Chains A and B, each alone.
Chain A
Amino acid sequence: MKNIIENNITGITLILAGLIFMVIGAFHGEAMEVMRKAVTICLECIGIG
């Protein structure tokens, strides 16, 4: 286990930082912003305009 952590310290640090980023983003209202966009048909995405 110790060996796995030592050999992947950059990756593990990035995953932990990513988790912190996601939590900050969620508290910042970004998850709701994604939700708001994703539950209505995105006319640009489907090529209507």
Chain B
Amino acid sequence: MNIIRKHIRLCVQMIFTALTNGYVNGFIQGTIYKGSTKQFCVPGLNCYSCPGALGACPIGALQAVISKPGYTFSFYIIGFFMIVGAMAGRFACGWLCPFGLVQDLLYKIPLTGKVKNLPFDEYLSRVKYLVLVVFVIVLPMLVVNIVGQGEPWFCKWICPSGTLFGGIPLVTMNEGLRSAVGWLFQWKLLILIMILLLSVKVYRPFCKYLCPLGAVYGLFNPISIYRYKVDQEKCVHCKACQKVCKIEIQVDEKPNSLSCIRCGDCMKGCPHGAISATFKKRGK
């Protein structure tokens, strides 16, 4: 029981990933689930072309709607972002995202010379906002074919989650798809391999620097109902929270930083018990 309590986040991540990707037949037959639950989004970056996926990826869904002729704004997906974000900010990144889980597991591989952040971290962490605006919104909406239909640019050119959970299993199991593999698949495979290799050394590089979903949820961190609070009477600014935080957030200064994935390590690592998750107005 203590082991589960100690690794509660990992357990939640694995159970949630298994539940939302529970269509086992898809993996056996090399196809995808076609049931009605696919109209609902899951909170994490979970490709709807994953053979097991029971729901839709919110970033893929956003691109699917706004790239359609007649839609310039998606009430359905923006509403979904508002609900998930306003409830708990980037909590979904830390606890419910399958690609976050993969990166977490890779970071557990024992290797010397681990680093929390890449050089120029401050600038690199802004790239995800650029990815969100350019690849998820502007290009799918504006670059259209003769009938006014756009493409999911982020999914097509960047998303490593789609390659890992959708591309690799489908291409492996489905002979028809395997024969259609070309340079685009190789490009996406290269991106995936680079991110996975980097994840062994750096904590969650995709989430920190590239993920458009994390960029959206992060904007809600300061105002979400579930947020962190620092008790200024207990806090001695020893920076133990920053040392234990794998994203190296100055928790005592910015407990609800836009980068925080709500993993809870800072709460466990504070020797004075000054950090808590609260529903009350935040401390700072």
Contact = CB atoms under 8 A, between A and B. Distances in A.
Contacts, number: 171
Nearest to B153: A44
A14 to B, nearest CB: 4
Interface residues of A, number: 39
Interface string A31-49: 1111101111111111111
Interface residues of B, number: 62
Nearest to A46: B167
Interface of A: 3-4, 7-8, 10-12, 14-15, 17-26, 28, 30-35, 37-49
Nearest to A39: B34
Given A14-B220, A35-B36, A42-B155, A48 B185 contact: yes
Contacts of A22: 75-76, 79-80, 83
Given A14-B85, A14-B86, A44-B156, A21 B188 contact: no
A25 B58 CA distance: 14
Interface in B156-189: 156, 159, 162-163, 166-167, 170-171, 177, 180-182, 184-185, 187-189
A42 B166 contact: yes
Contact of B163 (A21, A25, A46): A46
B284 interface: no
Nearest to B170: A46
Contacts of A37: 48, 56, 60-61, 64
A17 B201 CA distance: 41
Interface string B208-241: 0000000000001001110000000000000000
Given A23-B79, A46-B171, 10 more contacts: A15-B83, A21-B76, A24-B75, A25-B74, A28-B76, A30-B75, A34-B41, A34-B77, A44-B152, A47-B188
